[in-house]
Structure 1
Amino acid sequence: MSCFLLVFIVTLVPQNADAQSKKPLVVFVTGDHEYSGEETLPIVAAELEKNYGMRTIVLKASPDHNSEKNIPGLEALKDADLAVFYLRWRQLPKDQLAYIEEYLKKGKPVMGFRTTTHAFNFPKGDESEKWNAFGEFALNAPPGWGGAAKHTHYGHNSSTDVTIIPEQAKNPILTGVTAPFHARSWLYRVLPDYPVKGSTWLLMGKSVNPDKEAIENPVAWTGTNSFGGKVFMTTLGHPEDFRLEPFQRLVINAIHDELGLKVPKRWKGKMDIQVPYREAK
């Protein structure tokens, strides 16, 4: 009788590490003077990790939210599947801007909140002045604040009634988004020229107690930006908006849609987001 000795060499691969690397990576880039994005978005990030099978990285202006010239860690965008921006009037150095530009040029999806329409504020003639139009070339929004686009708002004492664009009622991003709802954000004026042609309006806002003659304006839209990347943009984003379940669902849904994932039919429950608003400097 012949005997055969079979020797197996088994290479053990940490299964947890492999599974973790397959999860989509969402990188949040925060830095605004006013809306506490560096506090609200980490709560959203934690929810994505806990209940929706994602990896997240939250980047913050340093040493604090008023620091306009430094957001450490932007190299994380090299591996990001989705970049989410909540910025206001930054003046980042060229090496940091390069990471954002590299990401955009890959045609990857981009998501933005409120003041990200005017994410950058470089002086006229500065070599990075083109970044002042980030809202337009990255998010199909007005190119900065004021100017020919008449991008303005209706006063800090106003707020916004939000309704669904009827034609978009069955849009997956609006799954479970009960409307109308009332948002604390004062309405941004983006019309008549924005969102750029070809964008899809999802939600409409009507100013309540405006300080000037007001018109209704879209407050959330999707589209494709100038680099070919998917866009989700909302001009809402006051910290009190993040307390609202319809707004929370909108954000979670949009993140899934941006990643090319099915919007979850089952809501994992309302997040407890109690973050204060602060006056801009």
Structure 2
Amino acid sequence: MRQHFSIVGCGLLFIAVCAAATCSADDRWVTYEGKQGPGKGKHVVLISGDEEYRSEEALPQLGKILALQHGFTCTVLFALDPDGTINPNNSNNIPGLEHLDNADLMIIATRFRDLPDDQMKHIDDYLKTGKPVIGMRTATHAFNIKGDKPYAHYGNGYGGKMTEWKDGFGRLVLGEKWISHHGGHKRESTRGLIAEDAKDHPVARGLRDGDVWGNTDVYGVRLPLPGDSQPIVLGQVLVGMNPEDAPLEGKKNDPMMPVGWVKSYEVPGGKKGRVFNTTMGAATDLTAAGTRRMLVNAAYWCVGLEDQIPAEGAKADLVGDFQPTMYGFGGFKKGLKPADFGL
């Protein structure tokens, strides 16, 4: 009898864990099942994997917000070592990209990845469908695929025979490749100002000047951005690392660089789709409610739910005790596995 109740108890515990929206079919990624909200029934795949800005911490937090507060089912992928531990320095392995095969939105925050062909194929197939993309921070230089590999044209700064892919994934899909640190790295933070002609755009809904902030620096981009790109948020370079610091005087703020923009993309042989890209998005940037709201608003806009964004902007409360690690090379928390980011 005791054994019977023990088995029942274990079963109930398993059900409870699944109900908490963290139950995944594989321990190489984590899935948060969508609760109630406009995003119910839509699947978002969030791809982490950068050595510097702690995307392995930022994307689980963003995924939890989208799932628990808006109804999107979110699958977060990680750069993993063979033993299943998260290692952002492993640039050759992000298991679970097959989840893109049934995704409604891809959010990517990788840096200089050189993934195997069978993993890259899922990204390539997704982009050919014209489904939407959100890029964060280092996604402008998401890949570094050299030589004559089948997906070398995705590499940052690509200059090969496939001329439509000049400068790689970052430029063609997101609107820019890696250019420069425009603000002073680790000494000049970023205040977001809403572009004058974007104040009525759904991504800017509920955002005021200064709501978007990050302790990362402004990235340089080439102006004007290509095609139909529309800047939504401009990055004001500040004199220090606090949101209340004064703007830096001089040419760094004249003109200001866009740090968040919308555009369309169309890869060769594919359909046209929506993009929101931000050169912000380190885990530490998500401590600002406005930065989180910008990203959640963008998710709604990307999947065509912009009419569901309230006048005050989408809800973007932190989930759990979010204490992001400061960005920097070699600073990631060692020994973690995807399950450590469950709810």
Q: Which TM-score band (shorter chain)?
A: 0.7 to 0.9
Cα drift, residue 170 of structure 1: 1.4
Which of 318, 325, 340 is the matching residue for 1:271?
A: 318
Cα drift, residue 198 of structure 1: 1.1
Asked if the contact 1:158/1:208 (under 8 Å) is kept, the reply is: yes
Residues in 1 aligned to 2:287 and 2:115: alpha-carbon distance in whole angstroms: 30
Which of 107, 115, 133 is the matching residue for 2:138?
A: 115
Find out whether 1:160 has 2:190 as its counterpart.
Answer: yes
Find out whether 1:192 has 2:192 as its counterpart.
Answer: no
How many residues get paired?
257
- Of 154-163 and 65-74, the range deviating more from structure 2: 154-163
Cα drift, residue 248 of structure 1: 1.1
Secondary structure class of the residue paired with 2:276: strand
Find out whether 1:81 has 2:104 as its counterpart.
Answer: yes
Secondary structure class of the residue paired with 2:48: strand
Give the corresponding residue for 1:136.
171
Residues in 2 aligned to 1:239 and 1:47: alpha-carbon distance in whole angstroms: 14
Report Cα offsets for 1:114-138 as digits up to 9, x if no partner. 1000001123555532111111122
After TM superposition, the score normalised by the length of structure 1 is: 0.84
Give the corresponding residue for 1:244.
288
Cα drift, residue 50 of structure 1: 1.3
Cα drift, residue 238 of structure 1: 2.4
Cα drift, residue 35 of structure 1: 1.0
**Residue type of the alignment partner of 2:104:** D
Residues in 2 aligned to 1:256 and 1:153: alpha-carbon distance in whole angstroms: 29
Q: RMSD over aligned Cα, in angstroms?
A: 2.4
From the superposition, tell whether residues 208 and 255 of structure 1 become closer, same or farther in structure 2 (CA, over 3 Å): same
Can you give the 5+ residue segments of structure 2 that lack an aligned partner in the other structure? Answer: 1-18, 20-32, 82-86, 156-167, 240-247, 331-343
Residues in 1 aligned to 2:304 and 2:220: alpha-carbon distance in whole angstroms: 30
**Residue type of the alignment partner of 1:208:** L
Secondary structure class of the residue paired with 2:283: coil
Give the corresponding residue for 1:34.
52
- Of 77-86 and 269-278, the range deviating more from structure 2: 269-278
Residues in 2 aligned to 1:48 and 1:22: alpha-carbon distance in whole angstroms: 10
Asked if the contact 1:257/1:263 (under 8 Å) is kept, the reply is: no
Give the corresponding residue for 1:11.
none
Give the corresponding residue for 2:340.
none
After TM superposition, the score normalised by the length of structure 2 is: 0.69
- Of 267-276 and 57-66, the range deviating more from structure 2: 267-276
**Residue type of the alignment partner of 1:184:** N
What's the % identity of the aligned pairs? 32
Give the corresponding residue for 1:13.
none
**Residue type of the alignment partner of 1:134:** F
Asked if the contact 2:65/2:316 (under 8 Å) is kept, the reply is: no
Give the corresponding residue for 1:205.
235
Can you give the 5+ residue segments of structure 1 that lack an aligned partner in the other structure? Answer: 1-15
Residues in 2 aligned to 1:188 and 1:269: alpha-carbon distance in whole angstroms: 24
Report Cα offsets for 1:92-126 as digits up to 9, x if no partner. 01111100000000011011001000001123555
Residues in 2 aligned to 1:159 and 1:32: alpha-carbon distance in whole angstroms: 20
